[in-house]
Structure 1
Amino acid sequence: MTLLIVGATGTLGRQVARRAIDEGYKVRCLVRSPKKATFLKEWGAELVKGDLCYPQSLEEALEGVTAVIDAATSRATDSLTIKQVDWDGKVSLIQAAKTAGVERFIFFSILDADKYPNVPLMEIKRCTELYLAESGLNYTILRLAGFMQGLIGQYGIPILENQPVWVTGASSPIAYMDTQDIAKFAIRALNVPEAQKQTFPVVGTRAWSAEEIINICERLSGKSARVTRMPIGLLRGVQGLLRFFQWGWNVADRLAFSEVLASGRALNAPMEEVYTTFDLDKQQTATVETYLQEYFSRIMKKLKELDYEKTKTKKKKEKKTPFKQSSKVNSQ
């Protein structure tokens, strides 16, 4: 089976690619910059240069492909908008996959996307789900909540560096999941008959509020967090202002997602039946506590090593040279 993985250089996509290669699949990755994706080639993947926003580049990428796993999404720093990548690009990919006779299509969506029609990314995910379901392709949709990897930049690093930790509104609890565990579900979906033309939540073992995450980080790091609460009204104002400038559209669309994070409504779902369907063991799923503990154990050990090296270097500099010692003797 030949897989085409789209978005393979991203946080989730690279884990999907790694898992697929480890399980013996022939993996092809659609990349915009082969130079930035050399690590995928080193792992054993075939790289094909292409872009979702250029439909003509998809035909070659899909030649001989059995299944597509779509992990691509726009970034706030991209010059292209969410609509261009997450809607126009995905529609082109789905159409091209159907034309190419692809047998399976795995798509990552967001949990509760249908509950936030005013949030661009959520509404686009909802519409993409519908479009995929009506395309005639044999699909599986996995609805995610949040990545554990994002907790490091949002909470871990700011606390270690004594920088502000930004918290929005009522802080919706989120069932974060390690992207390595999400990748297990994506690859397993390829061979589970019950997953065909179905939609599943794929979330962590429990939902965590921002305050709970901060408390864990404080305990593991031994440092206190500088929590700064951002009023949702202020974010809405900034979002509205940015829409006056074309360069700010993408950032404004991303800021709109703060409505989800500040709603107070948990991003979580029951997973018992999902684990049973996919024949995966919940006990092997990483928890937020174990993930953060592993991170802080590594980083605190590294900081101690750096502090030791710094102290050793300082002591060496403080040692007096023979010249200075002799000068001191002569002066006496």
Structure 2
Amino acid sequence: MPGVGSRGPQLAPASRARRCRLHCTANAGGGTPVAKNSILVVGGTGTLGRQVVRKALDEGYEVRCIVKPRMNPADFLRDWGATTVQADLTDPTSLPATLVGISAIIDCATARPEESTQKVDWEGKVALIQCAQAMGIKRYMFMSIFNCDKHPEVPLMNIKAATEQYLAATALDYTVLRLCGFHQAVIGNYAVPILEDRKVWGTNDDSRTAYMDTQDIARLTLAALRNDACNRRTLTLAGPAAYTTKEVIEKCENLSDSRAQVSTVPTWLLKGTRGLLRGADWAKDAADRLAFAEVLAGNEAWTAPMEETYALLGVDPASITSLDDYLQEYFTRIMKKLKQVGATADRTNFYV
């Protein structure tokens, strides 16, 4: 399994992996038929995961979600009609019970900024995949990152690539979906700061990203889940067009009738800062995330042709929401709300 220097994925200790298999085997018995429409969504409270949950419920699936015991409740998932069960990817013994009666897993989870990617995205996913095999799960849908196999220097991307390889070595019917970027990230990173008259951070590069609406990704994910032709395949999901950071900021400025306070971060500064942080144990996770930022600022095109994928999944390309349409709808709603509350120069109340 590939590594990333001292931070690369390391397989869970043998005793830990064996303990997970024993728990899975003990819970796998049975004879009770498993409903084909019963799915487990991992990461169901996240930006993408919640859209997968909602779309699956709309399509008649019985949805179960893993939630961690935390301060932020997952009440909205239960309000929608999903079942929630407490478990933690960092605790393999908590996983088997979540898979009882499940036919497929949709894995949207990744470590939060305060969490360890090694423990969550590598050790936790290995344990989950082992449980899925032991308990006879029929399908495993894994959310990965575009071109992750080409950037072993980035810990999270290397872990995603390693997990893809790990899945390929199993007997599971899996589908890997490699994602480029989300429309929702554009709102958080650019639209909201511009509306709130806060700084917008950009880089001096020509990288282009083909953003896609998470609602469309959820729809394509469930189409792939139903399609046996997607078994043991890797598909890249990219939006209709790719944009630079500068182009995205300009779109937000035009639609909001505002000027962005742009602070440009040179690529060389990202690399230098990462080098400094890597030397301190307390800052290694921050350094890992800067490595990802380096890739995003590396003049690459995060896009891929989608014609074959649309044909495979039976999806009309015209039904995919473009970034232009998404931003137009977002700013139309926001600007209407601003007028209703009488906002002028001070736009910090646009959530009202």
Correspondence for 1:229: 264
C-alpha deviation, 1:309, in angstroms = 11
CA contact (8 A) 2:205 2:267 kept: no
Work out whether 1:17 is the aligned partner of 2:53: yes
Could you report, residue by residue, the CA deviation over 1:221-252 in whole angstroms, capped at 9, with x for unpaired residues? 11111222101222223223333444422222
Q: In structure 2, the residue corresponding to 1:150 is in which secondary structure?
A: helix
Work out whether 1:217 is the aligned partner of 2:255: no
C-alpha deviation, 1:260, in angstroms = 1.3
CA distance in 2, matches of 1:308, 1:266: 38
Are the structure 2 counterparts of residues 207 and 308 from structure 1 closer, same or farther at C-alpha, using a change threshold of 3 Å? closer
Work out whether 1:7 is the aligned partner of 2:7: no
Correspondence for 2:76: 39
CA contact (8 A) 1:145 1:268 kept: yes
Are the structure 2 counterparts of residues 259 and 309 from structure 1 closer, same or farther at C-alpha, using a change threshold of 3 Å? closer
CA distance in 2, matches of 1:180, 1:250: 30
Could you report, residue by residue, the CA deviation over 1:120-160 in whole angstroms, capped at 9, with x for unpaired residues? 11111111111111111100011100010000111111211
CA contact (8 A) 1:140 1:195 kept: yes
CA contact (8 A) 1:81 1:249 kept: no
Task: Return the letter of the residue paired with 1:19.
Answer: K
Stretches of structure 2 lacking an aligned partner (at least 5 in a row): 1-36, 346-352
- Normalised by the length of structure 2, the TM-score is 0.84
Deviates further, 50-59 or 154-163: 154-163
CA contact (8 A) 2:270 2:294 kept: no
Are the structure 2 counterparts of residues 308 and 130 from structure 1 closer, same or farther at C-alpha, using a change threshold of 3 Å? closer
CA distance in 2, matches of 1:286, 1:209: 18
Correspondence for 2:128: 93
Correspondence for 1:176: 211
Residue among 53, 58, 64 paired with 2:90: 53
CA distance in 2, matches of 1:158, 1:46: 35
- Structure 2 matches for 1:119-134, cutoff 5 A? 119-134=154-169
Task: Return the letter of the residue paired with 2:86.
Answer: K
C-alpha deviation, 1:307, in angstroms = 1.6
CA distance in 1, matches of 2:146, 2:344: 46
Q: In structure 1, the residue corresponding to 2:176 is in which secondary structure?
A: strand
RMSD: 1.6
CA distance in 1, matches of 2:252, 2:238: 21
Residue among 240, 262, 269 paired with 1:205: 240
C-alpha deviation, 1:300, in angstroms = 1.1
CA contact (8 A) 1:171 1:261 kept: no
Work out whether 1:280 is the aligned partner of 2:315: yes
- Normalised by the length of structure 1, the TM-score is 0.89
Task: Return the letter of the residue paired with 2:96.
Answer: E
Q: In structure 2, the residue corresponding to 1:205 is in which secondary structure?
A: coil
Correspondence for 1:154: 189
Stretches of structure 1 lacking an aligned partner (at least 5 in a row): 311-332
Identical-pair percentage: 49
CA contact (8 A) 1:168 1:261 kept: no
Correspondence for 1:316: none
CA contact (8 A) 1:26 1:45 kept: yes
Correspondence for 1:319: none
CA distance in 1, matches of 2:329, 2:262: 23
